[in-house]
Amino acid sequence: MSFFAQHQPWRLLGVALPFGLLLGLQPAACGGQEPDSTEPARSTLPTPTANSRPEVPNGYFLFPIKPGQQNFLAASMGELRPNHFHGGLDIKTDGRVDLPVHASQDGYISRLKQSSFGYGNVLYITHPNGLTTVYGHLNHFKGPVAEELRRRQYEKQTYELELFFKPGQFPVKRGDIVALSGNTGGSAGPHVHWEVRDQQDNQLNPLQWGGFQEIQDHVAPSLQAFAVEALSIDARVQNRFGKAVFVPKTPPLLNGGGYVWADTIAANGTVGLLVQGFDRFDQAWNKNGFQKVDVLVNGQPLYSHVVDNIPFPEAPAR
């Protein structure tokens, strides 16, 4: 998104935030998903900043559903939810359950949970570099870990159960089938919720490491409206205190270059910039949120909002 000074048009480029998100809002300021475990905090290390990025080579992770074939996302990283940013990818499963779910990389099954809520049946694989991949809303677990779950369920006489495992107890190799996809927990339709977490349980965007051939995106985002809002008592937009909403009427610039608002927008004081719109992936009908926004003033970078790292909320004290 580019902002030019008075007497020049506003040019909107690289729009990447959905549904009226105020620029400047950081992921940590938004309420996250409810804690999905009773496990104590695993690390006392300081939380990385939103711009931190683990060193992961491109192609390190295998796409967990139909690897090597074109696939689609029901939801992307960073989409707005009622009280949090979406902390992973929702992968479509052809509208059905029981597709094979593959381990994204070598490691060991460090945790699983069978539940009627939240992530539903969920599996965690910890990898040698310290990252953990999470596979949610599963229908069934596969392999020796499924037998261990069944044994422990009979032992404790309960269906809903969460188990933690030590390194080497249930090792897996990249590509192993570790589960079958499902529609369990708080799922609104068959899919697999897939995410990557670091050792502090920050949720990381898997697509930031070079992307995957399974997910293609050559469709430019669509801007529905933008707004400028006065944020301080002495601020004014178009000589008024409040929020002015603008709906671009001109078509997008060529080659996905963005949108242009051809008139001057007079603003002074501390103001906020909001955008509303959506994005789509190739050959997909559903609307996805935007994951990145860049703000330029007179062609110079002013602000960049990238939702690639979302702190996961800690479990409440007991």
pLDDT of residue 36: 56
Q: Coil, strand, or helix at residue 83?
A: coil
pLDDT, position 256: 62
Q: What's the pTM?
A: 0.78
User: Beta 161-164 vs 171-172: how paired, if at all?
Assistant: unpaired
**What pLDDT score does 53 carry?**
64
Question: Residue 41 has what pLDDT?
Answer: 39
Q: For residue 80, what pLDDT is reported?
A: 75
Predicted pLDDT of residue 42 = 43
For residues 79 and 85, give the distance between their C-alpha atoms in angstroms, rounded to a whole number: 5
Joined together, the tokens standing for residue 224 give 């529905």
Bridge-partner residues for 226, per DSSP? 246, 275
pLDDT along the chain (318 residues), means of 10: 32 33 36 45 42 77 94 84 79 94 96 92 95 96 94 92 94 97 91 93 86 83 90 93 87 70 86 88 83 78 83 53
What gap in Å lies between CA 50 and CA 44, rounded to an integer?
Answer: 18
pLDDT digits (tens, 9 = 90+) for 110-142: 999 999 888 999 999 999 999 999 999 999 999
* φ, ψ for residue 286, nearest 5 deg: -75, 150
197 token code pair: 């977490």
**100-138 as b/e: b if 16+ CB within 10 A:** bbbbbbebbbbbbbbbeebbbbbbbbbbeeebbbbbbbb
- In this prediction, residue 122 carries a pLDDT of 96
Closest CA to 240 of 200, 271, 278: 271
Q: How far apart (Å, rounded) are the C-alpha atoms in residues 2 and 218?
A: 21
Can you give the pLDDT at residue 2?
Answer: 36
